[in-house]
Amino acid sequence: MLIQCTQKLLKEIKVKPSEVSEEERLYCWHANVMMMGRRKALVLMNDSSSSK
């Protein structure tokens, strides 16, 4: 499973990005962090659900 994080999320969790290997599209995800009111929320989206 491959979870690709946005720069905003990487700063939030204090992690350095690593090399990306090719995975089947079904197992690839994108993650972002956003504010909902005063709380932080993690948003995950499967790459196969995007309109590419």
What are the extents of the domains in the chain? 2-49
- pTM score: 0.74
pLDDT at res. 50: 63
pLDDT at res. 40: 96
pLDDT at res. 29: 92
Token pair in block for residue 7: 């720069």
Are 6 and 29 in contact, with CB atoms under 8 Å apart?
no
Token pair in block for residue 16: 């350095």
pLDDT at res. 31: 96
Are 16 and 9 in contact, with CB atoms under 8 Å apart?
no
Residues lower than pLDDT 50 in the chain: none
pLDDT at res. 51: 60
Compute the distance between CA of residue 6 and CA of residue 35 in angstroms, rounded to an integer: 14
pLDDT at res. 43: 95
DSSP 3-state of 32: strand
pLDDT at res. 39: 97
